[in-house]
Amino acid sequence: MGSDSLSILTTSTKPTPIPIPTQEDPSNPSTALLSFNTDSSSSAPTDPPHKPNTTTIVFISLLLIACVAISAAIAFAFLFFSSSPSASPPATSHVETQARPLIKLPHPVVLLISSDGFRFGYQFKTDTPNIGRLIGNGTEAEMGLIPVFPTLTFPNHYSIVTGLYPAYHGIINNHFLDPRTGEAFTMGSHEPKWWLGEPLWETVVNNGLKASTYFWPGSEVRKGSWTCPDKFCMNYNGSVPFEERVDTVLSYFDLPGGEIPSFMTLYFEDPDHQGHQVGPDDPEITEAVARIDMMIGRLIEGLEKRGIFEDVNIILVGDHGMVGTCDKKLIFLDDLNPWIDIPADWVLSHTPLLAIRPPPGVEPSDVVAKMNQGLKSGKVENGKYLRVYLKEELPSRLHYSASDRIPPVIGMIEEGFKVEQKRTKRKECGGAHGYDNAVFSMRTIFVGHGPQFARGQKVPSFENVQIYNLVTSILKIQGASNNGSALFRESILLSSP
Ligand SMILES: [Zn+2]
């Protein structure tokens, strides 16, 4: 249990300063994760120099002559075949640089699709011919899309549509308290005061265009020029079959040209829902992935039937990945009692983001020092897998301090571990997300397909705060200030004619 996709929805605001666009990322996670230790300098002592004898010299000479002969043969062969008229053309006959013109649609359209908890690599679990078609004829983040920290559903979905880190868009967790009023934010809170920044649907309407949302965190919030119109803004209902969602989005393309929304969202709860229950490596996940692929197939078929598949810019993403968790990988706060007592009511969230707000009079730095002392003592079970920070001292690449909604004490938990208050007899294995966004298992997918995306292009991993600028650029509209880079689009999108 513990699913935090939209599916379990039941349900002070001091404006944060305008964030300065930040592109620095000194410890590029994609590089860090992929680097190997190739340093072999310490492995062997330096060999003593040795003198060559006559046999060695003769052997080396023969070897050199042989090499020259082979090279000459290859050069002749190359000249012969390259001048031959029957030689086949090179595989890459041309490189696309210009966006392809629209065939039928009267204006550019971006369809942003989220498959919740679609961990990068799930696309290889089974045959995914339809997602594969988007990848093969579109642009893919070759090693996946990097979520923002914390790698949770609401913070990430809202970063995707605002281009802001959670500290700036205000949705710093799936649930949190306003430190001034004590009011609670839940996944069902639709009051605009919680939702800072300017989401894409609002930007699109500000620019005189139409937008539609078939579910997305924040889309039901009436804010600025966005009124969540009945026809184009679905109120969340997890029981609506996926097929119905796809068909409704397709029906928007049957409207008169000027009525077709320029920006549309489409959301699926799977495979996050299954991931929480059974972890990422279970046949249930494979089934869920196959079903998402079928929905993409249904969408492609509907667009093809209307003659507009090549006209629509489809962006398929997930919000985060998933990692297996199990009952042996637990850390209990009560085990820290010899160093410090952490009552449950100080803890705003336990796992995988540990967030603690001590009461007035208790110094957060004292809490951090005592907790870390206990965790490092070797006497707390799994203690070495949790490290506690003052939020200002978290690694800057996490961008997780510039909001008073973020509690002062934050714990970083190693991948796959969980924090609980006290020991219980409960035994369970499942899946979780929310960990450091540098962890590879938290990555998700990015695929762009359509007139503005080069076919068969692979791009390096990037953070999802870049997506906002991609959408405004495709729609040629003015966006709000955000944390993405204005130049990023040049590395992903084809240039407009
Ligand atoms: Zn999610």
Three-state SS at 203: helix
Q: Output the CA 151–ligand 1 centroid distance in Å.
A: 8
pLDDT category at 66 given cuts 50, 70, 90 is low
Asked if 137 and 340 touch (Cβ cutoff 8 Å), the reply is no
pLDDT category at 40 given cuts 50, 70, 90 is very low
What mean pLDDT comes out for the span 174-185? 96
Q: Which amino acid is at 327?
A: D
pLDDT digits (tens, 9 = 90+) for 364-387: 999 999 999 999 999 999 999 999
Contacts of 366 (CB under 8 A, 6+ apart): none
Q: Output the CA 442–ligand 1 centroid distance in Å.
A: 10
Q: Output the CA 284–ligand 1 centroid distance in Å.
A: 17
Q: Output the CA 386–ligand 1 centroid distance in Å.
A: 23
pLDDT of residue 95: 77
pLDDT of residue 496: 82
> 203 catalytic, yes or no?
no
3-class secondary structure per residue, 64-87:
HHHHHHHHHHHHHHHHHHHHCCCC
Q: Output the CA 345–ligand 1 centroid distance in Å.
A: 26
pLDDT digits (tens, 9 = 90+) for 428-482: 899 999 999 999 999 999 999 999 999 999 999 999 999 999 999 999 999 999 9
Q: Output the CA 117–ligand 1 centroid distance in Å.
A: 5
Sorted by where each begins, the domain ranges of the chain are 109-323+438-491, 328-426
pLDDT category at 69 given cuts 50, 70, 90 is low
pLDDT digits (tens, 9 = 90+) for 338-356: 999 999 999 999 999 999 9
Q: What is the pTM of this model?
A: 0.83
Angle at 481 between CA 259 and CA 224, to 5 degrees: 50
pLDDT category at 7 given cuts 50, 70, 90 is low
Asked if 122 and 146 touch (Cβ cutoff 8 Å), the reply is no
Q: Output the CA 331–ligand 1 centroid distance in Å.
A: 23
Which residue in the list 128, 139, 151, 153 is annotated as catalytic?
Answer: 153
What mean pLDDT comes out for the span 126-151? 98
Give all strands of the β-sheet with 446-449 in edge-to-edge order: 211-214, 263-268, 109-115, 312-317, 446-449, 139-141, 457-459
Helix (H) or strand (E) holding 470: helix 467-475
CATH architecture type of domain 109-323+438-491: 3-Layer(aba) Sandwich (3.40)
What mean pLDDT comes out for the span 267-285? 96
pLDDT over threshold 90, residue 485: yes
Give percent of the chain with pLDDT exceeding 70: 81
CATH of domain 328-426: 3.30.1360.180
CA–CA distance, 404 with 14 (Å, rounded to integer): 9
